[in-house]
Amino acid sequence: MTGFTLHRLHASIGVEVRGIDLSAPMPKDTRRALAQAWLDHLILLFRDQDLTPKAQRAFCEQFGQLGGRLRKVEERPEGRDAENIMLVTNVRKNGVPIGSLPDGEMFFHHDKCYAAEPDWGTMLYALEVTRAGGHTLFANMYAAWETLSNDLKEKLHGRRVLQIYKYLPTERVDLADGIDKYDHQWQPIVITHPKSGRKALYVNELMSALIDGYDEDESRSIIKRLNSHVKAANIIYEHKWHRGDLMMWDNWCTMHARTDFPRNQTRMLRRYTIRGQKLSA
Ligand SMILES: [Fe+2]
């Protein structure tokens, strides 16, 4: 008896999990069954949850160690005391955002793909949501790889991709500007998921800048084609947030993006991540 039921969010990706209060202690067999559901469906949604930071953190720790942050502590809007929490919010104090990634659209990306050991999971909990927009799109990157044309598969075979991030939602790093001041990492362009053993395409429009063996223009054009493929392949679930939603996703086999939303509506979500490992082809 695991005590929960699963309900599909989209034919290709995601389930809603019903029947669990995430703030309550979790029996081992429930945790194991959830881990399996997560592996099978890539993203899990829990609605109507009432979670303190401590409870969200405890739930996160059921699946592994908490992920840290690469961004220097003095550059984090959440400040020194927030530890592993990221507040994704447009709330401002004296005109300055109190959290990260405050406004508007955000391009597709994999959290922390620019780190040597990219985070495995992200858990985002909605404290306050906008009436319009600010949805999160999730793409199934196993399916992205499996449905790719042979021509593109061949172009990518055995190659690596430079993942680099300047901590802005719709602005890519200009490579001519030099890359050393930005967090970056060369990663396999197709990874083998460490837990499922399945291949997943590991490219995104925000953070992937260069493919080895191609110059910048060729790389851009391939990355553009890959993103168009993902958007056309019916492998994306769009989540409209409600207060109390907790969404957990796997960063190795999914990528996500955010739709635009009005600046004058408050949006606040609390994020923890689960530590990952080095990824191989
Ligand atoms: Fe993200």
* 130, 262 Cβ separation under 8 angstroms: yes
Query: From the CA of 256, how far away is ligand 1's center (Å)?
Result: 6
pTM comes to: 0.95
Dist. CA 90–CA 77, nearest whole Å: 11
Query: From the CA of 124, how far away is ligand 1's center (Å)?
Result: 9
Whether CATH 3.40.50.12780 fits 5-103+119-128+239-251+262-274: no
- Please report, for the chain, the start and end positions of each structural domain, with discontinuous segments joined by +: 5-103+119-128+239-251+262-274
pLDDT in tens, 18-51: 999 999 999 999 999 999 999 999 999 999 999 9
Neighbours of ion ligand 1 (CB under 5 A): 111
Q: How many residues does the chain have?
A: 281
pLDDT in tens, 113-157: 999 999 999 999 999 999 999 999 999 999 999 999 999 999 999
Query: From the CA of 152, how far away is ligand 1's center (Å)?
Result: 26
